[in-house]
Structure 1
Amino acid sequence: MQLLHLDSSVLGGASVSRQLSAELVARHRALHPGIQVVSRDLAADPVLHLSGAHLAAFNGAATEDATITADLVKGNAYMDELFASDILVIGAPMYNLSIPTPLKAWIDRIAVAGKTFRYTATGPEGLLKGKRAFIASARGGVYSAGSPAAGLEHQESYLIGLLAFLGITDVTVVRAEGIAMGPEAKKAAVAEALADIAAISA
């Protein structure tokens, strides 16, 4: 069994999403002794955002740009890691109502027609069925269902929709929100998220 662990926060050791994603990985190690973990720090080592040169290469054009070539190799590795993994843990803080751009760049490399999804006569079909995903969500304000700002939430909803589009429908969100609303609010939110992680079963 393999777990793919992605982090995307730029805050390093101060990141709540990184704290939660690390706890999720530890929980799965406890539940699945011997599980192989592949980790990617997308903030520290991102791929480039898509460009015309990338799209040309995807369509078979040769490239002599060493930077683009190396970047394409990294993107191919992303795809290989995803296919080989049974469990996906995504550390995803909310940045400006959505996800960090390094995580979006990762998505742009793995959401590929004919590989992770396909178009059919009845609509798109995800090709990554049978995998589980866990989202370690952190956000400064409160955007959960029923809150005044719920309509501005394009972080968790985007990831859940994207994963479903790719065929991954077994998705668990572990959330710490309101963490910018004072030390006590942050402490309570993190404690609740950690309790949710401890309750995860195989």
Structure 2
Amino acid sequence: MTHTILKMNASARIADSASRPLVERAVAKLSKSGSRVIERDLAAPLPAVNEQWLNANWTPAESRTAEQSAVLELSDALIAELKEADTIVLGLPMYNFGVPASFKAWVDLIARNGETFAYTDEGPKGLLEGKRAVVIVATGGVPIGSAADHATPFVTTVLGFVGITDITFVDAANLVANSDTVVPKAEATIDALAA
């Protein structure tokens, strides 16, 4: 069975991104012989959820118009990528104490009842169990796990909501003051993941 990695970059930076090289390293280390890699770059803007999308989403699939189905095409594609992946490698910079807007847009498009979670008598249940997530968090100065870190709790909640609870955070925080030590430490953490 082919091992599939969903490689996601949420950094708006391309050439000077701190997280992108770490994502490449993680994908290389976690790849197995014959691994398949799906790439999703969130620097390419995703549309925000709007009333048209919400109406289409809450219309039962068998009752959707062709137009409603078209509105959900991108969401369907993002969910298909997530379902196919055994491992998700996410490069996540912290912008203004939280996740980039591009990642929040992705979350809004993949969190769908009946697709990635289901409402049950006991409350919502994630439908994407058995997957692993490696989240590389790069910050200019905010320490991971500090009171100002609103990114990692959000990611933990969102991924857990859809059933992904095996989450490893790679700490690449405080790059402005300590890039000479932060990057090698993050690289070592990534290398250990494949051991």
Q: Identify whether the pair has TM-score above 0.5, normalized to the shorter chain.
A: yes
TM-score, reference length from structure 1: 0.87
Is the Cα–Cα contact under 8 Å of residues 141 and 173 in structure 2 kept in the other structure? Answer: yes
Who is 2:125 aligned against?
A: 125
Shift of 1:144: 2.8
In the alignment, the residues of structure 2 paired with residue 201 and residue 21 of structure 1 have an alpha-carbon distance, to the nearest angstrom, of: 13
Shift of 1:187: 1.8
Is the Cα–Cα contact under 8 Å of residues 125 and 167 in structure 1 kept in the other structure? Answer: yes
Who is 2:91 aligned against?
A: 91
C-alpha RMSD of the superposition: 1.8
Shift of 1:192: 0.3
Who is 1:21 aligned against?
A: 23
Is the Cα–Cα contact under 8 Å of residues 57 and 63 in structure 1 kept in the other structure? Answer: no
Who is 1:143 aligned against?
A: 143
Shift of 1:8: 1.0
In the alignment, the residues of structure 2 paired with residue 96 and residue 5 of structure 1 have an alpha-carbon distance, to the nearest angstrom, of: 24
Q: How does 1:20-169 map to 2 (within 5 A)?
A: 20-29=22-31, 32-44=32-44, 46-60=45-59, 62=65, 69=70, 72-145=72-145, 150-169=146-165
| 1:175 aligned counterpart, secondary structure | strand
Percent of pairs with identical residues: 38
Who is 2:185 aligned against?
A: 192
Deviations 1:127-168 (A, max 9, x none): 1110000001100113234xxxx1121111110121111111
Shift of 1:117: 1.1
Is the Cα–Cα contact under 8 Å of residues 172 and 186 in structure 2 kept in the other structure? Answer: yes
Shift of 1:123: 2.0
Shift of 1:62: 4.0
Is the Cα–Cα contact under 8 Å of residues 47 and 75 in structure 1 kept in the other structure? Answer: no
Who is 1:5 aligned against?
A: 7
